[in-house]
Amino acid sequence: MSEEEQVVIHGLVCPRPLAHDETVVLGHGSGGRMTFDLITKTFYPPFSNPTLLRGDDAAVVERPEEGKLAVSTDAHIVAPLFFPGGDIGRLSVAGTVNDLVCMGAQPLWLTASFILEEGLPLYVLQAALESMKSTAEEAGVQIIAGDTKVAERGKADGIFISTTGVGRIPPGRDVHGANAKVGDVVLVSGTLGDHGLAVLAARGELGFEAQIRSDVAPLHGLVEAIFAVSTDIHVLRDPTRGGLATTLNEIARQSGVCIEIEETMIPVDPSVEAACEMLGFDPLYVANEGKLVVIVGAGDADVVEAAMRDHPYGTGTKRIGVVCEAPERRVLMKTGIGGTRVVDVLSGELLPRIC
Amino acid sequence: MSEEEQVVIHGLVCPRPLAHDETVVLGHGSGGRMTFDLITKTFYPPFSNPTLLRGDDAAVVERPEEGKLAVSTDAHIVAPLFFPGGDIGRLSVAGTVNDLVCMGAQPLWLTASFILEEGLPLYVLQAALESMKSTAEEAGVQIIAGDTKVAERGKADGIFISTTGVGRIPPGRDVHGANAKVGDVVLVSGTLGDHGLAVLAARGELGFEAQIRSDVAPLHGLVEAIFAVSTDIHVLRDPTRGGLATTLNEIARQSGVCIEIEETMIPVDPSVEAACEMLGFDPLYVANEGKLVVIVGAGDADVVEAAMRDHPYGTGTKRIGVVCEAPERRVLMKTGIGGTRVVDVLSGELLPRIC
């Protein structure tokens, strides 16, 4: 197809003329027939399951037979809606799944509430929903309840999706941010900064061409692979907004410890590194959407590292540091030239915002 | 205070000059220090509870000891953010609480995800959060998880709040839209259309002065009062977007029955009725946020009606109709002059949108 026959809408490359020219209108949010049509024709086909199709005010599900419940929520906004490696649909499912699995939970159910901007082409919505569907299938979760509102043109930005997840924490698992212990090993599942740079590149804001793909992915399988080989997992965290630096600072603060990482061990993709260097960004502060930080007792570090490397989303796992006693609530980095510097949290806005 | 000393921002009347001139900036959504400050200074004080304060990726809660779980989600958008009788904060809590109680559930936990527009005055956010707090306290639910994103100026509309609720359905309760039975009685807990007209009035879109207050309220207490006197409750539903007409049509469709209502029994506040007449609106299609439709076995209708009238949110309860066999999936209304007409669902957009 020649370039003249394509248009890019919300980051989605489409043939021109558009096959489907229907758009979201205010009536789709009225609660009447148009809302019913939108729900039954556009939302039910990808998300079809008996609980959702019942169409009541709330979904009714059986209580899990054992374990505690984990509950997490996230609002998802991104421009463009579609970018190399992902889109807002995949992001909205993976983001909440990852928050659940970072508490050791097995995701069970998701809810999704949508705010659509008047004028949004319906095929853009459909493409996002299809992506939610396939990501939910990958993660083994059901979308059991939803809601849609329509905002006037210029009062929203295409599609906003808030997802909430409920999961079950099997007995015996106890991972949380305050659980890092002196002597623990810090692992990260792969290269840092891919998501943030991919979104910037998709916006044309890098000022040069770059083949960078977002890492957005649900990490339930990687987490289960870890629990399959170790009962000594202390902290799991996905380094999203604010990047690895912010995530490690949160853990250091919650656990009252120092985390010491080694600059030479931090995995960064060469294209991301080059782009960051040209733009003056630090990949430690750039968002990831498919990476996992694992803090594990030293005795299990080797088996956990090996299990992670065996999983498709963990092939690039690196051992990047250790948990120390002091200075408390700090993250330090041994630099490549032998020095040590404090790695602080992001203050203000580092990048043109990507979420 | 004279009018010159006041400003109205997002529907909130404030003294001028503004005491707090801090606004939401993009950095508040970066995930770094500014996000941390916003969360700890603005969100934690009203919502403080041990589960939320733990600050992990997901909240961890104990599984209820018995009963099924109900899960519901709603996106809340309204302009202005503050209106007579309510605001987006009260709306966001009551809306989701009411979806849970309409399944017979006792609300346990809420999550809240916020999309804030760059430039929003922080005191407007604080006022909305205080309102969420007091409504959550009224409803006896804890807000256990949250998330905040910031959209660029002009890419959102002040504050959007998506709430998700989890509740416990005590054993023995079975209310759902497909459960209306021929011979059942239809009750409604009070006047219709108050919320929709109050929001329109607050926008100055009525073209005349009107003292109409929104009915937005959490209905957990009203529902528990009903279950306290009857085990023969078949359907509960809150007639929000699309109004009573749309809600009854949904029930008629789900249950495969006809619902016949009497025009003279439909409760409408005189100011709402006058405003609707002048504007050509039908209060049957206007949104409510604190009303309940109850479909109950005929034998229990009297005790349920009495129990509803005894509750502060049900003093205006009326018996408005009955469930019949045919024509299936239809709502009919006996008019004041002795005729019968079909009451259809809302098609398209009746009103200037209010949500």
pLDDT tens digits along A104-149: 999 999 999 999 999 999 999 999 999 999 999 999 999 999 999 9
Residues 6+ apart with CB under 8 A from B165: A58, B70, B71, B72, B73, B96, B97, B99, B100, B107, B108, B109, B110, B141
Provide the pLDDT for residue B348: 64
Cβ–Cβ of B26/A71 closer than 8 Å? no
Q: What percent of chain A has pLDDT over 70?
A: 94
State yes or no: pLDDT of A333 exceeds 50: yes
Provide the pLDDT for residue B350: 58
Cβ–Cβ of B353/A178 closer than 8 Å? no
At residue A7 the predicted structure's pLDDT band, cuts being 50, 70 and 90, is confident
Residue A346 buriedness (CB in 10 A; 0-12 / 13-18 / 19+): buried
Name the residue in chain B with its Cα closest to that of A99.
B57
Provide the pLDDT for residue A1: 43
At residue B254 the predicted structure's pLDDT band, cuts being 50, 70 and 90, is very high
* Nearest chain B CA: its distance from A73 CA (Å): 6
Residues of A in Cβ contact (< 8 Å) with B171: none
In chain B the first and final C-alpha atoms are separated, in Å, by: 32
Provide the pLDDT for residue A176: 95
State yes or no: pLDDT of A4 exceeds 80: no
Q: How far apart are CA A197 and CA A266, in angstroms?
A: 17
Looking at residue A343, its amino acid is V
State yes or no: pLDDT of A350 exceeds 90: no
Q: How far is CA B180 from the centre of its chain?
A: 22
Q: Helices (DSSP H) in chain B: which residue ranges?
A: 33-38, 44-47, 50-53, 88-101, 122-139, 194-202, 220-229, 243-255, 270-279, 301-309
Task: Count the Cβ atoms, other than its own, within 10 Å of residue B67.
Answer: 18
Q: What percent of chain B has pLDDT over 70?
A: 94
Q: How far apart are CA A240 and CA A217, in angstroms?
A: 12
Does A227 touch chain B if contact means CB atoms closer than 8 Å?
Answer: no
Which residues 266-285 of chain B have a CB within 8 Å of chain A?
Answer: 285
Mean pLDDT of B74-90: 96
CA-closest candidate to residue A345, choices B42, B31, B168: B31
- Angle between helices A88-101 and A122-139 in degrees, nearest 10: 30
Provide the pLDDT for residue A135: 97
State yes or no: pLDDT of B3 exceeds 60: no
At residue B336 the predicted structure's pLDDT band, cuts being 50, 70 and 90, is confident
Cβ–Cβ of B34/A347 closer than 8 Å? yes
**E strand or H helix at A228, and its extent?**
helix A220-229
State yes or no: pLDDT of A335 exceeds 60: yes
> Distances in Å between the alpha carbon of B298 and those of B227, B234, B303, B311?
15, 11, 10, 21
Give the range among A86-100, B18-32, B92-106 with minimum mean pLDDT.
Answer: B18-32
Cis link prior to A239 (omega < 30° from 0)?
Answer: no
Name the residue in chain A with its Cα closest to that of B69.
A61
Write down the CATH number for the domain with range A26-57+66-169.
Answer: 3.30.1330.10
- Please check whether residue A94 is in contact with residue A135, taking contact to mean a CB–CB distance below 8 angstroms: yes
Does B126 touch chain A if contact means CB atoms closer than 8 Å?
Answer: no
What value does the mean pLDDT of chain A take? 92
State yes or no: pLDDT of B49 exceeds 70: yes
Residues of B in Cβ contact (< 8 Å) with A145: 71-73, 164
State yes or no: pLDDT of A204 exceeds 90: no
Span A35-83, pLDDT tens digits: 888 999 999 999 988 888 888 888 998 888 888 999 999 999 999 999 9
Residues of B in Cβ contact (< 8 Å) with A162: 73, 75, 113, 115, 147, 162, 164
State yes or no: pLDDT of A182 exceeds 90: yes
Residues 6+ apart with CB under 8 A from B203: B79, B80, B352
State yes or no: pLDDT of B149 exceeds 50: yes
Q: Which of B58, B157, B347 sits opposite A151 (nearest CB)?
A: B157
User: Hey, of A47, A49, A63, A73, which one would you mutate to test binding to chain B, going by the most B CBs within 10 A of its CB?
Assistant: A73
Cis link prior to B17 (omega < 30° from 0)?
Answer: yes
At residue A18 the predicted structure's pLDDT band, cuts being 50, 70 and 90, is low
Cβ–Cβ of B73/A147 closer than 8 Å? yes
Does B146 touch chain A if contact means CB atoms closer than 8 Å?
Answer: yes
Does A7 touch chain B if contact means CB atoms closer than 8 Å?
Answer: no
* Helices and strands of chain A, counted as H and E runs: 10, 16
Provide the pLDDT for residue B1: 42
User: Hey, of B34, B60, B101, B106, which one would you mutate to test binding to chain A, going by the most A CBs within 10 A of its CB?
Assistant: B60
Residue A134 buriedness (CB in 10 A; 0-12 / 13-18 / 19+): middle
Q: Write down how long chain A is.
A: 355
Provide the pLDDT for residue B30: 84
- Angle between helices A220-229 and A301-309 in degrees, nearest 10: 140
Q: Which of A68, A115, A347 sits opposite B33 (nearest CB)?
A: A347
At residue B15 the predicted structure's pLDDT band, cuts being 50, 70 and 90, is low
Residues of A in Cβ contact (< 8 Å) with B103: 56-58, 60
Provide the pLDDT for residue B18: 52
Cβ–Cβ of B103/A58 closer than 8 Å? yes
Cβ–Cβ of A68/B77 closer than 8 Å? no
Dig out the tokens for A336 from the structure.
């490549």
What is the per-residue DSSP string for B133-181? HHHHHHHT-EEEEEEEEEEPTTSS-SEEEEEEEEEEE-TT----GGG--
- CATH topology identical between A26-57+66-169 and A177-342: no
Q: How many contacts, defined by CB atoms under 8 Å, are there between A and B? A: 288
Provide the pLDDT for residue B326: 93
User: Hey, of B26, B43, B56, B77, which one would you mutate to test binding to chain A, going by the most A CBs within 10 A of its CB?
Assistant: B56
Fold of A177-342: Phosphoribosyl-aminoimidazole Synthetase; Chain A, domain 2 (3.90.650)
Mean pLDDT of B86-90: 97
Which residues 303-332 of chain B have a CB within 8 Å of chain A?
Answer: none
Strand partners, B295: B186, B235
* Nearest chain A CA: its distance from B310 CA (Å): 25
Provide the pLDDT for residue A5: 67
Cβ–Cβ of A155/B152 closer than 8 Å? no
Residues of B in Cβ contact (< 8 Å) with A76: 149
Span A305-317, pLDDT tens digits: 999 999 999 999 9
Cβ–Cβ of A113/B353 closer than 8 Å? no
Residues of B in Cβ contact (< 8 Å) with A58: 70-72, 99-100, 102-103, 105, 165, 167
At residue B48 the predicted structure's pLDDT band, cuts being 50, 70 and 90, is confident
Does B246 touch chain A if contact means CB atoms closer than 8 Å?
Answer: yes
Residues 6+ apart with CB under 8 A from A246: A239, A285, A345, A346, B31, B32
Q: Which of B30, B55, B147 sits opposite A350 (nearest CB)?
A: B30
Does A62 touch chain B if contact means CB atoms closer than 8 Å?
Answer: yes
Q: How far apart are CA B282 and CA B285, in angstroms?
A: 6
Q: How far apart are CA A87 and CA A89, in angstroms?
A: 5
Spell out the domain ranges in chain A: 26-57+66-169, 177-342
Q: How far apart are CA B348 and CA A243, in angstroms?
A: 44
Q: How far apart are CA A115 and CA B77, in angstroms?
A: 8
Match 């009854």 to its residue by tokens: B248
Strand partners, B189: none
The helix/strand/coil state of A355 is coil
Provide the pLDDT for residue B120: 94
Cβ–Cβ of A147/B75 closer than 8 Å? yes
Mean pLDDT of B16-25: 70
Provide the pLDDT for residue B354: 52
Does A171 touch chain B if contact means CB atoms closer than 8 Å?
Answer: no
Dig out the tokens for A258 from the structure.
């120092």
Q: Which of A33, A98, A349 sits opposite B30 (nearest CB)?
A: A349
Q: Write down how long chain B is.
A: 355
Looking at residue B102, its amino acid is C
Span B155-168, pLDDT tens digits: 999 999 999 999 99
- In A238-309, DSSP assigns E strands to 258-262, 293-296
* Nearest chain B CA: its distance from A302 CA (Å): 26
* Nearest chain B CA: its distance from A207 CA (Å): 21
Residues of B in Cβ contact (< 8 Å) with A177: 54-56
CA-closest candidate to residue A106, choices A175, A52, A178, A59: A175
Which residues 12-41 of chain A have a CB within 8 Å of chain B?
Answer: 25-27, 29-36
